[in-house]
Structure 1
Amino acid sequence: MSNPKEIKRRISSIESVIKTTEAMKMISIVKLKKTKNLLINVKNYSDHIELLFSDFFLIEKKENIQKNKFFLIEKKENIQKNKLFIVFTSNRGLCGSFNSSIFEKINFLFQKNNYSYNECMFFSIGKKGFDFLRKRYKIYDKKNNWINLIDDFTIIHDNIKFLTKKLILNFIKKDFYSIYLIYNNLKNSLFQEVIIEKLLPINIENFQKKRKKTEINYLIEPSKKEVFDYLIPKFINTKLLKIFLESSVSEHTARMISMHKATENALDIKNNLILNYNKERQTIITKEILEIISGLESLNEKK
């Protein structure tokens, strides 16, 4: 067994670990509350944008929709052409299986669908995802890959706007034919699910299911095309922003739970070390008492 000094040093280091994990837990709680409030507002805005799309597709004629081949599809299609996957991960670790579950999903996706590595490109929002993807997969625009997640929401919003413009431009140029989003969705405080969602082209059926019919007679000005061209960037930008915030909520929740478990484990280790320290101390005291008694007995025998 270790000597008391070594045990005491280990107890001191465990106490510093407990302080660190408790501090990280509290930081995650504060960030989680802030992100949840932002997510509520963005969700409300996103719902209204999607309702506008639903109404637009219901009042628009089928022939006019078919002319828009850039952003719309009428039926579920499996296009075996260039795909772009936007992956939402974190910058830092210590958040349990938040990042690893996404990486497992990506590997499983390639094995299941037999995707060609040349036909799939990845764009990572988060440093952990970029570090994983660059070693295995084809990265979309390595020079301008946005990998830094900053706590300032205004900067994040501006970055997503820039990313939206870039995606629309490359999509029109047919650098890729479909865009998918891979992110963690928080089902409850103990369970997260990795979601793969198609962003572009837009499936009209998904919007038509939300509203089977509309009795509103819209007056669209200046024209349907201009309104549609205005709604597309708004829809993509809002969708990316909403999913980014959902991913952030999942990350902070995962880190909060991980730090809580780490604190509990550290407390258990500390209690065991204190118990060992007391046992060692008692052993040393008992040994010293026995030495004193045996010394006194030997002196008495000599007398």
Structure 2
Amino acid sequence: MAALRDIQNKISAVKKTRQITRAMNMVAAAKLRGVQDKTEKFRPYAEKFAEVLGSLAQGINPDSHPLLAVPEAVTKVGLILISSDRGMCGSFNANLIQAGTKFVKEKKEADQEVNLYMVGKKARDYYKNREYPIAEDMPGVMNSVDFDLAVTVARLGLDAFLAGEVDEVYVLYSKFKSMAAQVPTVERLLPIQPEALEGDEGADAGQEYLTEPSAEEILVDLLPRFLNVRVYSALLETSTGENAARMTAMDNATNNCSDMIDNLTMLYNKARQAAITMELVDIIGGVEALKAG
């Protein structure tokens, strides 16, 4: 009977775990709908912003603005690494950490020092425990992603770049491809090199803009905004990927709990049947003993 009670306790515990994972799956699904909608609506804006900026920047001397100036030699770089604040999302954070570690290793092999700017708790905790050079950290901010957060994060890299603390600034985030694919992506933020318009893609491809005031004066205002837009896009992509990964992980955990309950129930039935058989054997044995006596 002790074995039967143990199995019953295990079944009860797994059922409670299944309730938790199912609830977490529903919460992640609700959050995913909201942030995925933001991401999909923001992508066209970010792409058009980059297109306009690329057109304005054509033919302009890079030395005309500090955010465009390419350094003669790169000895220090900054990496803004965006991760989640919470776990239970499969290999989502592990993939980002692995990509960050690879980036740091490659830069060190090129004799370049790396300053880390951590956004999110998970990656911060990993690198902090391993004594990596963390210049700034912002844990506990990924639960609610908005443009104000993007401005604050972009300011970390911008201030370091303008102060000469780093020669280049990169951002590492998780690009949302689908529910099953979130790809760690590294992009250079500073110095800014707007993509030149090439080919004949879209109605506005290769279009020239007439501006008043001059393009140089407009870029003074647009370049910092462009930096904020890129960081906000990275934050949205990472938040979307996090919730998609958590939803998938909790769905798998719920299914695993159901399988465990089925297996434990079968084991319980077998043990119960064996106990009943033993009791019947004892009863029959007693009856035969009485008859023999």
TM-score in terms of structure 2 length: 0.89
Quote the offset at 1:202 in angstroms.
Answer: 1.5
Instruction: Please identify, of 127-136 and 281-290, the stretch whose mean Cα deviation from structure 2 is larger.
Output: 127-136
- Give SS of 1:203's match: coil
Q: Could you tell me which residue of structure 2 aligns to residue 119 of structure 1?
A: 113
1:254 and 2:254 are equivalent in the alignment: no
1:169 and 2:165 are equivalent in the alignment: no
Quote the offset at 1:290 in angstroms.
Answer: 1.1
Aligned-residue Cα RMSD (Å) equals 2.4
1:213 and 2:206 are equivalent in the alignment: yes
Aligned equivalents of 2:112, 2:208: Cα separation in 1: 47
Aligned equivalents of 1:79, 1:14: Cα separation in 2: 58
Letter paired with 1:209: E
Aligned equivalents of 2:93, 2:221: Cα separation in 1: 35
Quote the offset at 1:158 in angstroms.
Answer: 1.7
Residues 158-181 of structure 1, C-alpha deviation per residue, up to 9 Å, x if partnerless? 222233334323322211111111
Question: Do the aligned partners of residues 117 and 66 (structure 1) sit closer, same or farther apart at CA in structure 2, a change above 3 Å counting?
Answer: closer
Q: Could you tell me which residue of structure 2 aligns to residue 45 of structure 1?
A: 45
Quote the offset at 1:140 in angstroms.
Answer: 1.4
Which residue of 213, 222, 232 maps to 1:231? 222
Quote the offset at 1:54 in angstroms.
Answer: 1.9
Aligned equivalents of 1:163, 1:193: Cα separation in 2: 21
Which residue of 104, 109, 130 maps to 1:110? 104
Quote the offset at 1:115 in angstroms.
Answer: 4.1
Question: Do the aligned partners of residues 12 and 183 (structure 1) sit closer, same or farther apart at CA in structure 2, a change above 3 Å counting?
Answer: same
Letter paired with 1:146: M
Q: Could you tell me which residue of structure 2 aligns to residue 67 of structure 1?
A: 63
Unaligned runs of 5+ in 2: none
Instruction: Please identify, of 166-175 and 189-198, the stretch whose mean Cα deviation from structure 2 is larger.
Output: 166-175
CA contact (8 A) 1:160 1:237 kept: yes
CA contact (8 A) 1:84 1:179 kept: yes
CA contact (8 A) 2:142 2:239 kept: no
Q: Could you tell me which residue of structure 1 aligns to residue 272 of structure 2?
A: 281
Aligned equivalents of 2:281, 2:75: Cα separation in 1: 84
Total equivalences in the alignment: 288
Letter paired with 1:185: K
CA contact (8 A) 1:73 1:203 kept: no
CA contact (8 A) 1:102 1:194 kept: yes
Question: Do the aligned partners of residues 78 and 89 (structure 1) sit closer, same or farther apart at CA in structure 2, a change above 3 Å counting?
Answer: farther
Letter paired with 2:196: F
Q: Could you tell me which residue of structure 2 aligns to residue 140 of structure 1?
A: 135
CA contact (8 A) 1:89 1:247 kept: yes
Q: Could you tell me which residue of structure 2 aligns to residue 243 of structure 1?
A: 234
Letter paired with 2:150: I
Aligned equivalents of 1:147, 1:207: Cα separation in 2: 36
Aligned equivalents of 1:168, 1:215: Cα separation in 2: 29
Aligned equivalents of 2:127, 2:111: Cα separation in 1: 12
Q: Could you tell me which residue of structure 1 aligns to residue 87 of structure 2?
A: 93
Quote the offset at 1:123 in angstroms.
Answer: 0.8
Residues 37-79 of structure 1, C-alpha deviation per residue, up to 9 Å, x if partnerless? 1112222221221122022123xx44xx2333522257xx895
Residues 243-291 of structure 1, C-alpha deviation per residue, up to 9 Å, x if partnerless? 1110111111111111111111111111111111111111111111111
Aligned equivalents of 1:69, 1:89: Cα separation in 2: 31
Quote the offset at 1:2 in angstroms.
Answer: 7.0
Quote the offset at 1:13 in angstroms.
Answer: 0.2
Letter paired with 1:44: P
Q: How does 1:72-83 map to 2 (within 5 A)?
A: 72=68, 79-83=73-77
Unaligned runs of 5+ in 1: none
Aligned equivalents of 1:57, 1:290: Cα separation in 2: 91
Aligned equivalents of 2:110, 2:206: Cα separation in 1: 41
Question: Do the aligned partners of residues 212 and 274 (structure 1) sit closer, same or farther apart at CA in structure 2, a change above 3 Å counting?
Answer: closer
CA contact (8 A) 2:81 2:100 kept: no
Quote the offset at 1:215 in angstroms.
Answer: 4.4
- Give SS of 2:196's match: helix
Aligned equivalents of 1:202, 1:242: Cα separation in 2: 16
- Give SS of 1:23's match: helix
